[in-house]
Amino acid sequence: MINITSHFTMEAKENTTFLRSVLATFPTDQLIFVSCLLLCYPLGIFYRYVLNPKRVSSTVRHVVGLFWGIMFGWISFKWQFFIIIGMAFSCYVLISFLNPKFVHRYVFAFSLLVLSVGHLCRQLTDYGSYKMDFTGPLMIIVQRVTYISLSVHDGQGRDEKDLSAEQKKEQLKKVPSLLEYFGYILHYSTLLAGPACTYRKYKDFIDGRHFIEKDSKRKEPSSLVPVIEKSLTSLACLVIYFKFAPSFSPILNTDEEFIATHSFLWRLMFAWFSMVTLRMRYYFAFKGAEAVNNLVGLGFSGYDEKGQPLWNGMLHANILKVEFPLNMKMIFDNWNISTGSWLRRCVYDRVTKHRTLAVFALSAAWHGFYGGYYLTFTSAQLCLEAARAFRRSWREKFQKTVILSRVYDVITCLITAMILGYLTVPFVLLDPWQGLRFWRSMYFFGHIISIMVLLLHRGKGSRNKSKTSDTTTTTQEIMQNGLIKSSAREENNGLIIGQDATCPH
């Protein structure tokens, strides 16, 4: 009996020591983020069931969501939070008083200017840091203020006949009140880690219409199962990160001794797994944020064919499709999903000329100005075009039997995963010279293979366009997602958020 008691006592001490060692690795800013994220769970239950739109007015729900958003913002960013409030209020003034025909242009320009100054200040004063600051949530808030400005522009500055079905649904015939506006901008469930949604979706959530519009006869659906699933996924990703991060630091990819003592194949595998490990901390924040939003009632998207409720309306990423992609497009479609939707709705669907260039410019300004970002941006486009050319020429040949099809899928999955690791290392390292050093150590194999594929398949694509959805991929998809994104900085911030999916800030 004494031995058993002693065993459990020692085990408890070991667990306590492990917990302390984990907490010791968390900087204060990231501990604050995690604490706020955990606090969102009891607040979410209270908000969903006690402050249900059937019980209280929309005003109460706005006020409570805004109050806790301000509290989280102040706790996390102190005086920097006033920059966020100042930018948001200035945009509200522009939206309220400028001509609706042009207001979206001014809001875009002003919000991106403030964000760009924030990026530059951080880059100059804290180069290469993963520390959380106001620019993380500011990236998401830029999306929200531009969403509102475009909805006002569509509702008051354009003819109804010129609007798409989606734009008609999202248009605003009047400017939201100051409370409604700030409730949307600073709601606690989306402030720290996003994702961003349109104002119409937020307003329907506040008023309780999001359930009624999907099916007015049904009882309000429970989000318990998706909340548990996403929370457990978030926790699992955090455990994986702490387990492997010390052994797979991205900086080793450019270490001279590491390069000299390891083979090309091993270094390629290391680059891939170091990027997978790094993404785990973003998945922790992503899935935690998705769970929090589902808990308060955000993200309900209707019912499946079996009548089961779907809660995929506030997604950051589909992890399995990013980590086990069959092609490049699958990665772009399933990473940083809400930012991709923002770029499509706000730029790609509205610009008549040079769409991809406009998306590139906006995405670049939104992310910041580290050279590593641009190495990844431009190289990803090259690799994507090569992948599309190869797919058009060869995929159909492997569809004759099930076995051949599976072989093709396995091979393309492995190649795509390796290329993903190759492309994203410079994005994470930030410094362009470090990124080029890594690519040089890998003999620029990704670039060389891509160029060779394009040269060998030149002209074939125009004669034989694949009917698969992969052919619809554009630079927009690259910029909108990816590897290419920093996360979630988007919608995210540091920690475990670094600031975007693959990058610090």
The overall average pLDDT reported for the chain is 87
Please answer whether residues 24 and 246 qualify as being in contact, where contact means their C-beta atoms are separated by less than 8 angstroms. Answer: no
Quick one: which of 388, 378, 382 has its CA closest to 426?
378
Evaluate if residue 399 carries a pLDDT over 60: yes
| Predicted pLDDT at 3 | 55
pLDDT of residue 29: 85
> Of the ranges 75-84, 242-251, 434-443, 478-487, which one carries the lowest mean pLDDT score?
478-487
At residue 503, does pLDDT exceed 50?
Answer: no
3-state secondary structure of 309: strand
Residue 478: what pLDDT? 44
- Of 216 and 270, more confident: 270
Average pLDDT over residues 54-60: 95
Query: Count of H helices and E strands in the chain?
Result: 24, 0
Residues 60/178, Cβ–Cβ less than 8 Å: no
Catalytic residue among 119, 187, 367, 457: 367
Res. 5 pLDDT band, cuts 50 70 90: low
Instruction: Compute CA distances 175 → 203, 293, 380, whole Å.
Output: 13, 25, 40
Distance in angstroms (rounded) separating the CA atoms of residues 377 and 366? 13
Q: Is the pLDDT of residue 66 over 70?
A: yes
Q: Check residue 4 and give its pLDDT.
A: 53
Choosing from 253, 293, 327, 336, the catalytic residue is 336
447 close to 460: Cβ distance less than 8 angstroms:
no
- Which pLDDT score is estimated for 303? 87
Cα–Cα nearest to 343, from 153, 162, 482: 482
Mean pLDDT of 414-433: 96
Report, as an integer, the average pLDDT of 264-272: 97
Reply yes or no on whether 367 is catalytic.
yes
Mean pLDDT for 271-275 is 98
- Please state the pTM of the whole predicted model: 0.86
Active site residue 336: yes
Q: What value does the mean pLDDT take over residues 326-339? A: 91
What is the rounded radius of gyration, in angstroms, for the C-alpha atoms of the chain?
Answer: 23
Which pLDDT value is given to residue 209?
87
More reliable by pLDDT, 504 or 19: 19
Provide mean pLDDT across the span 77-92.
Answer: 97
Burial 27-46 (b: 16+ CB within 10 A, else e): eebbebbbebbebbeebbee
Print the SS3 string covering 379-415.
Answer: HHHHHHHHHHHHHHHHHHHHCCCHHHHHHHHHHHHHH
Lowest mean pLDDT among 5-14, 115-124, 381-390: 5-14
Q: Residue 271 is which amino acid?
A: A
Report whether 454 contacts 463 (CB < 8 A). no
- Judged against a pLDDT cut of 90, whether residue 35 lies above it is answered with yes
CA-to-CA distance for 335 and 112, rounded, in angstroms? 22
- Predicted confidence at residue 16, as pLDDT, reads 58
Please calculate the CA angle 106-108-113 and round it to the nearest 5 degrees: 95
- 3-state SS of 159-184 is CHHHCCHHHHHHCCCCCCCHHHHHHH
On the question of pLDDT at 339 being above 90, the answer is yes
- List CB contacts of 330: < 8 A, sequence separation 6 or more: 321, 322, 416
- The span from the CA of 140 to the CA of 454, in Å, is 37
- 474 vs 95, higher pLDDT: 95
How far is the C-alpha of 438 from the C-alpha of 442, rounded, in Å?
6
Dihedral-angle region of residue 195 (phi above 0 means left; psi in -120 to 50 means alpha; beta otherwise): beta
Residue 106: per-residue pLDDT:
97
Per-residue pLDDT band for 359 (boundaries 50, 70, 90) equals confident
Task: Name every residue whose Cβ is closer than 8 Å to that of residue 284 and which is 6 or more positions away in sequence.
Answer: 234, 235, 237, 238, 241, 495, 496
What percentage of the chain has pLDDT greater than the value 90? 71
Q: Which of 426, 413, 310, 409 is nearest to 373 (CA)?
A: 426
Element (DSSP H or E) covering residue 363: helix 355-367
Q: What is the pLDDT of residue 356?
A: 76
Q: Which residues contact 430 (CB under 8 A, 6 or more apart)?
A: 127, 128, 370, 371, 372, 373, 503, 504
- The pLDDT tens digits for 430-475 are 999 999 999 999 999 999 999 999 999 886 654 554 444 444 444 4
Q: Is 24 exposed, middle or buried (0-12, 13-18, 19+ CB in 10 A)?
A: exposed
Model confidence over 171-222: pLDDT tens digits?
999 999 999 999 999 999 999 999 999 999 999 999 988 777 655 566 888 9
pLDDT on residue 386: 93
pLDDT of residue 17: 58
- Residue 355 pLDDT greater than 90, yes or no: no
